[in-house]
Structure 1
């Protein structure tokens, strides 16, 4: 039985991934800082549900606390590390930039050091579609330049990709970075659009709709996302014999066992239509407060996820309406509405 260390295991995506891995028979070591960026009770509830599985062991600690993280890693000796923990959120990076430096740069460095010392079979780390920044050519492909990040959050994730490549090259550490595209679904974060919109619609309070609703996002249902991560665990990058040996469609580095993979639904959805889908599931109309584009936002995201399909045979497939339906049902149940 393989042991997998999942950082951010009490988070939205980390919880869903850990749950999937446990159901497939893996032993999962969870590590989460339980920060108060949003309701800690939601995080505690996720960890409590994971603890119902005999194969789960949860630990609380900050990524920045290297001694604690290192001691745990050396004691548990995971075969694979999936690093999901981070200071998330594009807009919050405008308010508290230092938290992104601490968690996303220092914390990620600490994870890589543990992976290097252990010599894990595979290190997988979360990046984001935000790294594409001001790039206008869509759909976004892994080989595009990502030199124009528009927020500090995106910049830290771009830095994580560069840091990970150097470690993969220097220490022959097989590493996969995956770029997320607007993940949504049950047990989501309260700061995310679907959560905020659903709450506002059901409570009858105004919702802020940026750029007057004329934005597009590639919404990816969370169970589709974690299925993609699970399958990528088995796709361990190998250092190529030469640059010529790399398929044109592959993002494998010519200098390291390192690869970047988009995980997205490969469909652009207009924000206005997203709100309409939530209204339909909630059975009432939103009070829309149309706002200008917020600093750091981009008008559209759209994933080319063909490499994921090529590597794993899998493509995200949950229709938006079904995903929204599942979230609203969870929200009503969780908050007893």
Structure 2
């Protein structure tokens, strides 16, 4: 290959490097001004226009170098036009590849940010819901204690001792996201014992908890919340006791009771709404609520097993 040939190869390579360098610096400048997701179409049009300008100027310089210096035949406009087409295609191709990778990277970063924000929001909602339940139960318990002190003062000491057992459970499960059915049923059973002292003979409990389900997981205080709500919002007397039916099965833990609404009691909806939100946030699905004219039933789904 002649010296002129090697000069042409070197000049062509240098020409391509120059065009790409100018194009990428132009693209970097506008990408800084308009990042991904901000004026994307405008940025691409500006980059495309810059590619045309750089291509034309670079091609003119290329033609002048060879026409005036290397071959000494003057400035060749047809060479400028041919090289301009090549000079435009090179940066556009590089820009397309760069933009594709850039958009992909921006999409992944945005998706990770959304997932992280979603997890943070879910954790915040979960903590808020969890922290609302104990004060809600405490408020109702103090009301029950006050009523017991008026109606049956001799039962106050026993009532307080049983209530302390329940709050020991509340403190022990503070910060925990799951408990076994065995643990939660003991707390609910203690609560029913408290209510039996306060309102003897006003309710009965039928329990069917097979051994196979006792280690399944629930949200802390969930069973206690259901029985507490049922007693609060339904009429229960010695002549017409409220019959609880508590069963564990493949779908979860079901608590059923007759529908006998206490008209004077207004429901805040905190208990069931709280449980429903917490079970969903824990990935267990929805709390199933079924009601007929005579029976109200709630099924708490089992929490999924923790992944390793």
- TM-score using structure 1 length: 0.21
Higher strand share: 1
Higher helix share: 2
Larger RCO: 1 or 2 (CA < 8 Å, sep 6+): 1
